[in-house]
Structure 1
Amino acid sequence: MKNVDFWKPKLIRAVQELYQVSKTDLVEQDVNCKIQFDEEENNQG
């Protein structure tokens, strides 16, 4: 069982890092989409 105790924190940290990365990626994509949309609106207006 020592193996599990050794790997568990590493797994948790890896998952957290992946989650953080995907979260920031999603936020950036969202912002980029909004900026593009705003620019298109301005060009039409």
Structure 2
Amino acid sequence: MIIAIIFISEYYYIILKDHDRAIFIGLWPPTMVGLLIYFNLKKNR
């Protein structure tokens, strides 16, 4: 799912030339990865 969001962001940036929306969408994958790491660490304690 995270890979799909990155490709959607690239689509908005390159094809549709909507740079603001592409940056907004592109910020979600690192946020999701960070939350997944946090919850996995919390679960393993």
**Which of the two has greater helix per residue?**
1
Segments of structure 2 that go 5 or more residues without pairing to the other structure are 1-15
TM-score by length of 2: 0.53
CA RMSD after TM alignment? 1.5
Q: Which residue of 2 aligns with 1:21?
A: 23
Q: Which residue pairs with 1:3 in the alignment?
A: none
Aligned-pair identity (%) = 13
Instruction: Report deviation, 1:26.
Output: 1.2
| Structure 1 length-normalised TM | 0.53
Please list every run of at least 4 consecutive aligned residues from structure 1 whose deviation after the TM superposition is greater than 2 angstroms: none
Residue in 2 aligned with 1:31?
Answer: 33
Structure 1 unaligned regions, length at least 5: 1-11
Structure of greater relative contact order (alpha carbons < 8 Å, 6+ residues apart)? 2
Which residue type is aligned with residue 21 of structure 2? Answer: Y
